[in-house]
C-alpha cells in the first residue's frame, strides 16, 4: 500500500481501492441509496441548497437544514434509521484510522459534474482525537486544503477514483473543500459524477 504524507496528520493513499473493490463499494452504495435516498442539504438560516446531494450509513448521519448542522440517527425525509455501514467500509477504517473504536457515521456525498463544496472545517463532532477517513469513487475532484485559519495558504491535489485520504492529529481541523470535478475522468459511474465517503467518530467513546 502506497502512502504519502502531505502534511503532519494528513496522509494520502493513491489507488487504495482497486477496480474490483471500487465496484463492490459502488454496489453497496446503490443499496444504501435505495433505503436512504440522496437528499439536498440546505444552508442554516438562509435555506440555500447545497450543490452536493447526500445520504449516510451507520448509527449517525450528518444533516443540514435551516435549523443548522447536526448528526442524527434518522434520515431527514423518510425518518427511518440510516442503513448499516458495509463491512468493506469498516475494514477501511480499521486499516487507515489507527483509532481503536469503530466509526459511528459515514457521510456519502454525491457530486454532479458541476457540484462543488466551499472551503470549510469539519467541527460538528465531539471526538477530535479520531481522524476523518475519506474514500473517493468516480470522476476526479480538485481537492483544496489549507490550515487551521481560513486565511492560511492552500494547496490542491486531485482525488481520483479509489483514492483514500486521512485527516488526523494536527490536520483534523484544517479548512478544505472541492473546487470542481474533472468531467469524464472515470468510467466507474455510468452517468459520471463523483461519490465521496467520509468515515467519522462523532461521539466520545463510552
Ligand atoms: C479534512 N467532503 O464531507 S473529502 C465533507 O470530497 C467533505 O466530499 C469532501 O469535506 C468531499 O465534509 C472532502 C476529504 C476530507 C473530508 C473530511 C475532512 C477532508 C477533511 C475532515 C477534516 C479535514
Ligand atoms: Fe469536510
Domain ranges of the chain: 4-200
Q: How far apart are CA 180 and CA 171, in angstroms?
A: 22
Atom of ligand 1 nearest to the CA of 62: 3
109 is in an annotated binding site: yes
Q: pTM of the entire structure?
A: 0.98
CA of 185 to the centre of ligand 2 (A): 23
pLDDT score for 63? 98
Q: How far is the CA of 62 from the centre of ligand 1 (A)?
A: 12
What share of the chain has pLDDT > 70, as a percent?
A: 100
The predicted-structure confidence for 22-45, as pLDDT tens digits, reads as follows: 999 999 999 999 999 999 999 999
Which one is the CATH code of 4-200: 3.40.1350.10, 2.60.120.590, 3.20.20.140, 1.10.10.410? Answer: 2.60.120.590
* Residue minimizing CA distance to atom 17 of ligand 1: 132
Give the closest residue to 41 by CA, choosing from 24, 72, 64: 64
- 196 belongs to an annotated ligand binding site: yes
Which atom in ligand 1 lies closest to the alpha carbon of residue 165? Answer: 14
Dist CA 138 CA 186 (whole Å): 5
| Nearest CA, atom 14, ligand 1 | 134
Phi–psi pair at 63, nearest 5 degrees: -135, 160
For cell 470549510, the residue is 120
Res 54: pLDDT:
98
Question: Do the annotations mark residue 90 as ligand-binding?
Answer: no
The answer to the question of whether 199 is labelled as a binding residue is: yes
Q: Which of 50, 63, 196, 200 best tests ligand 1's pocket when mutated (most atoms within 8 Å of CB)?
A: 196
Angle at 99 between CA 75 and CA 14, to 5 degrees: 85
Is 45 annotated as contributing to ligand binding? no
Can you list the pairs that 76-80 forms with residues at least 24 positions away whose Cβ atoms lie under 8 Å? 76/39, 77/37, 77/39, 78/36, 78/37, 80/35, 80/36
Q: Which residues of the chain have a pLDDT value below 70?
A: none
Task: Quote the pLDDT of residue 200.
Answer: 98
Nearest to residue 28, comparing CAs of 105, 73, 80, 84? 84
For ligand 1, which residues put their CB under 6 angstroms from it? 107, 109, 117, 122, 132, 134, 141, 165, 167, 172, 174, 176, 178, 196, 198
**Proximal ligand: closest to the CA of 120:** 2
Q: In this predicted structure, what is the pLDDT of residue 187?
A: 98
Amino acid at each position: 500500500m502506497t502512502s504519502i504524507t502531505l502534511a503532519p496528520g494528513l496522509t494520502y493513499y493513491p489507488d487504495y481501492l482497486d477496480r474490483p473493490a471500487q465496484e463492490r463499494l459502488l454496489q453497496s452504495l446503490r443499496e444504501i441509496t435505495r433505503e436512504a435516498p440522496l437528499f439536498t442539504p440546505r444552508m442554516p438560516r438562509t435555506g440555500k441548497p447545497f450543490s452536493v446531494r447526500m445520504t449516510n450509513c451507520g448509527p449517525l448521519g450528518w444533516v443540514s437544514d435551516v435549523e443548522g448542522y447536526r448528526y442524527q440517527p434518522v434520515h431527514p425525509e423518510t425518518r427511518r434509521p440510516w442503513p448499516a455501514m458495509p463491512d468493506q467500509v469498516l475494514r477501511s477504517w480499521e486499516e487507515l484510522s489507527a483509532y481503536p473504536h469503530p466509526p459511528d457515521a459515514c457521510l456519502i456525498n454525491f457530486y454532479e459534474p458541476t457540484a462543488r463544496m466551499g472551503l470549510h472545517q469539519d467541527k460538528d463532532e465531539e471526538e477530535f482525537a479520531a481522524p476523518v477517513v475519506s474514500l473517493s469513487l468516480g470522476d476526479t475532484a480538485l481537492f483544496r486544503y489549507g490550515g487551521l485559519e481560513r486565511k492560511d495558504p492552500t494547496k490542491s491535489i486531485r482525488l481520483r477514483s479509489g483514492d483514500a485520504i486521512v485527516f488526523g492529529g494536527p490536520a483534523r481541523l484544517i479548512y478544505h473543500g472541492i473546487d470542481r470535478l474533472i468531467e469524464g475522468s472515470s468510467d466507474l459511474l455510468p452517468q459520471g459524477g463523483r461519490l465521496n465517503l467520509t468515515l467519522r467518530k462523532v461521539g466520545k467513546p463510552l
